[in-house]
Structure 1
Amino acid sequence: MAQDNKISVVINTYNAEKHLREVLDSVKDFDEIVICDMESKDNTLAIAREYGCKIVTFEKKNYTIVEPARNFAVQSATHLWVLVTDADELVTPELRQYLYQYIATPNCPEGLFIPRRNRDMNVLDMGRLRDFQLRFFRRDKVYWPPLIHSIPEIEGKTTKLVDNDKAVFNHLDENYLHDRMEKLNRYSDEELDKRANKQYGLGALIWRPTWRFFKAYVMDQQYKKGLPGLISSYLSGFYQFLIVAKTIEKRKYKTK
């Protein structure tokens, strides 16, 4: 394949008008922006047209997660290198510069994990960069499994962006408690398909939530965010509790 030093940005959307203008402003200097929309009912498409985006549609059907649309979205891009960003994530100028330098490097790995700074109760995470997302890759070397929170599968090598703490995604989702609790319940339902053969018991009910809280609060330095960090860490542990409890309920008590 001929050398392609251009980058397509791919954004999956569904009723994403809230942050979309700000997100598109952050990626407007890339070579192409592809909006893969799941039949939005708000002003998402009007905003995308305003910015001159390439728009493709993926039927929403009964999907409640984005992953089934990821492969279609990525393959709708024109250029060899693809950056996937969500409709509530900003791409910093430093990240854009880094990515173009990256693809200009001979024999660079086919996939790149990019750090993301998250926001809880409107407080931005300024601790160590621990949330890495595999979002930059060659279009011809990737497959994205259609399961919730799945990681793209790369044919080739991957690496992490660890040498520039300003080359990041900035997550705009405020994660207010009402919205986050709704997501935890919905996402934990979707996780059940990935754990169909798991045999969880009392130990998992205790140690998985406890470990996730410890990891978030101590290792990921959520304590630096004060009470919002403490609350977010508890919710991370509670999410693991929901997954384990629902898996036990489904297997042992034969619920649907």
Structure 2
Amino acid sequence: MKISLLVNTLNEELNLENNIKPLAYLFDEVVIVDMSSEDNTFDVASSFATKVVSVERMGYVEPARKLGVETCENQFIMILDADEDISENLKKLILDIRAGNVSLENKVLYIPRKNRMIGKDIEYGQFKADSDKQLRFFDKNSVEVTKEIHKGIRSKVNTSSLEYKDGYYIYHYHSNTAIEFVSRLVRYCEIECNKQKGNDSFSVSGCLKAFIREYFRYQGYRNGRHGFALAFILAIRTFLNGRKM
């Protein structure tokens, strides 16, 4: 079975070099859709990718991702972001699938994502690997791909999930500092809020519930001070999502 790797980029020259380029050997095709980067991303991508496509910057990835899926020649596609890597067991599984040593029960796979946030691997809360499974491996005829932010790919068939405890996961280098985390959050919330219709509202109880849910219900406190920071940031997200920006 042939597999394409799809990566969307925006100013990711270092991440491409460090994370994605070393993975190219795992795939039959590497497609990179670059959203008008201002650094050397395009040149780095061209040094190892099968295809590099440049598109207009939209502020969010979904339109470029849809184009990327359409550009991939192979039926099966794996998607990674430039700030992601994959575990050794997942690398072996990809090679086994390509070699025909493993047959897939379903044509759409959810893969656990281990998040490194604010400089720490997150083991508890909503961002732990078992809770953050991503639809990243699929037969492109078995999914619907849209341009809507955070809703870009939806399965049309039954799905399967890989398990973190078995060593299958994507490693996500999300953020090194709280400021980096919040800046990303504000960018996405601005896009989402500008699309919203209705009242400009703010709920104190909603913010408190977001904090309590992450910190206590999902045991984010077990992440230490990082867990408190993440719960606080999620409360901020609830506030931002209720405001027109």
Please indicate the TM-score interval, normalised by the length of the shorter structure: 0.7 to 0.9
Counterpart pick for 1:21 among 4, 17, 20: 17
Structure 1 unmatched runs, 5+ = 251-255
Question: Aligned partner of 2:89: which letter?
Answer: E
Question: Aligned partner of 2:19: which letter?
Answer: V
Partners of 2:24 and 2:48 within 8 A in 1: no
How many equivalent residue pairs? 238
**Aligned pairs (5 A) from 1:33-72:** 33-60=30-57, 63-72=58-67
Partners of 2:142 and 2:155 within 8 A in 1: yes
Residues 94-152 of structure 1: CA distance to partner in whole angstroms, max 9, x if unpaired?
12333455685556223211111111221111345211111111112222222222151
- Give the alignment's Cα RMSD to 1 decimal: 2.5
Q: Match of 1:211?
A: 209
TM-score norm. by structure 1 comes to 0.82
Question: Aligned partner of 1:231: which letter?
Answer: A
Q: Match of 2:227?
A: 229
Is 2:92 the partner of 1:91?
A: no
Is 2:73 the partner of 1:78?
A: yes
Partners of 1:68 and 1:145 within 8 A in 2: yes
What is the alpha-carbon distance in structure 1 between the residues aligned to residue 145 and residue 194 of structure 2?
A: 16
TM-score norm. by structure 2 comes to 0.85
What is the alpha-carbon distance in structure 1 between the residues aligned to residue 37 and residue 201 of structure 2?
A: 41
Q: Match of 1:253?
A: none
SS of corresponding position for 1:82: strand
Structure 2 unmatched runs, 5+ = none
SS of corresponding position for 2:6: strand
Partners of 1:90 and 1:169 within 8 A in 2: yes
Q: Match of 2:181?
A: 180
Worse-matched range after superposition: 10-19 or 211-220: 211-220
Counterparts in 2 of 1:194 and 1:216: CA distance versus 1, 3 Å = farther
Q: What's the % identity of the aligned pairs?
A: 29
- Cα distance, 1:30 vs. partner? 2.0
Counterparts in 2 of 1:144 and 1:220: CA distance versus 1, 3 Å = farther
Counterparts in 2 of 1:161 and 1:42: CA distance versus 1, 3 Å = same
Counterparts in 2 of 1:85 and 1:215: CA distance versus 1, 3 Å = farther
Partners of 2:105 and 2:160 within 8 A in 1: no
SS of corresponding position for 2:26: coil
Partners of 2:143 and 2:157 within 8 A in 1: no
Q: Match of 2:192?
A: 191
What is the alpha-carbon distance in structure 1 between the residues aligned to residue 238 and residue 229 of structure 2?
A: 15
**Aligned pairs (5 A) from 1:100-249:** 108-127=105-124, 128=128, 129-162=130-163, 164-192=165-193, 195-196=196-197, 205-244=203-242, 246=243
